[in-house]
Structure 1
């Protein structure tokens, strides 16, 4: 099989009230070391008090600039990193409280698909061995034949041929390699997939294919996704809810349609205004927002609201008081961490 262009389609959403993942005030700081004695002189606040829930059948998109903490959060969610404080709970179980054997068992239910399919697969292993490795490690099935049946089922599930099982990763295109990575992640029948920029290294036509595949798998298997990306159009296509991160914190979170059509945080509005439009008559082009200044140093963030140094709506309150996530809409609502949220009629900076 070769990858051929495909048009993206909206992935059906059927989230339930069943919470599978609960993140509460999770913080991850990395020490800044200096000198021959490697003395700690500060810390980088990669993730700084993030909270959200993930329901069964839901896709939560996480977006933000490079360095905002998206990938660190991904590693925290699947137990590859331990938080400094706060909790990541899978169906009520705190990942940080588990011993090594317990965490290994739970990881069968939370799997990760990494960004670069060219480096995330071992070039010394055939596709058969790559997909069957987690089955062997976790003792899945009663026999080798059971595992081989599962591998064949998985390779069919992701749209590849069984003849590909004898080949090596370097014999495939980028899109095919990502399909192999997805098959491996699905091997142990997980409930949650952490997708860390899974299409950013692929051509745009292949991106559409992988997004469609992920949508189909979510519907067929009842999966829940955390979809980390910087491409807002892809996030809008696949996500049921979106969280916007800035300097390690959630600036805004809400249903995809609400957040994209009526952004309330100035940073969200600026991000969305940067999305290219093929239509030169699109009225949104008149509301392009160019942020001033640079992203602050995460080792020395501003006091108060971390965005106030770049925000055109900042006032004195923003410099001294950090806003908390607050609901601004009734019903299926968006929560925003801003003292002075924007609206459709708010003026934009020149």
Structure 2
């Protein structure tokens, strides 16, 4: 691979240190972020610049001609330039600016002086290359807008400590515009999800088995909402998505969505309380273009499965008085079967396996919604 650091090959000394304590401004990210190329007669060199939330550096990826693994380095902001310090036997000093939509890439060796200090790179010794930005595809542009909407809201919500109601409403409108866009059909949803155990801001996205429905749950310390969208089709193509279900109640989370047939879907929801957590299953049926709950669980609108939480288990407590094992609701799509742990049959006094198959528009299940009935 003809990488930039091969083209500018020098044996360099340890570079300068760059102190950076603040995250990089959004306008700088917008200016530099993306792929950049330089085309020569016999080869094309590519570099990519990426930014991560709350990081004080940019990730610089020297892709080169693509024939060998990329070279990844950290670039730090100095005024309006991104600077890569030189490191011995690794890379030269590099500075980058953007002018008239072009990436000006300058590099030179770093020279160690007799007293052990390092000579500042001389402007006249810098070798320059000019890169052109690779245009974003429509899908990449959509992806970037999605991430930008999330990151900007999270930054502003944190600054305002969640007290800006207008901010929440504006974010909700932007989010709804994004999830009803037809580009969601091709978007790899795993790239968008944010796990709750790694961030205070959580985003779960799940597509139903037939891809006709998409579930969204967004939760933060300041705001929370759930959505279900359905495809809008025309000429066998997805034209967009329609919001068919919305819930912004605290402590309620949509967790699973499954297709039952052309007119019905199964929704599984979780609700948390101080001392126990409950899972609920609902069947929604299309009725005149609207989706409404139907009595699909022994003439009930929902199946309820509850668990005690760890709050009821203080340290060193008597095991006989601790919570029972966690019970959840899962669904086998192939066999259209619900599983919900074990239930105590109050009529027979026996413990039964909690499972039921969807037949004739119903799940034939036992009642498990009473805490005293949980086995």
Structure with the bigger RCO (C-alpha within 8 Å, sep 6+) is 1
Normalising to structure 1: TM-score of the pair? 0.29
Q: Which protein shows a greater Rg?
A: 2
Q: TM-score, normalised by structure 2?
A: 0.28
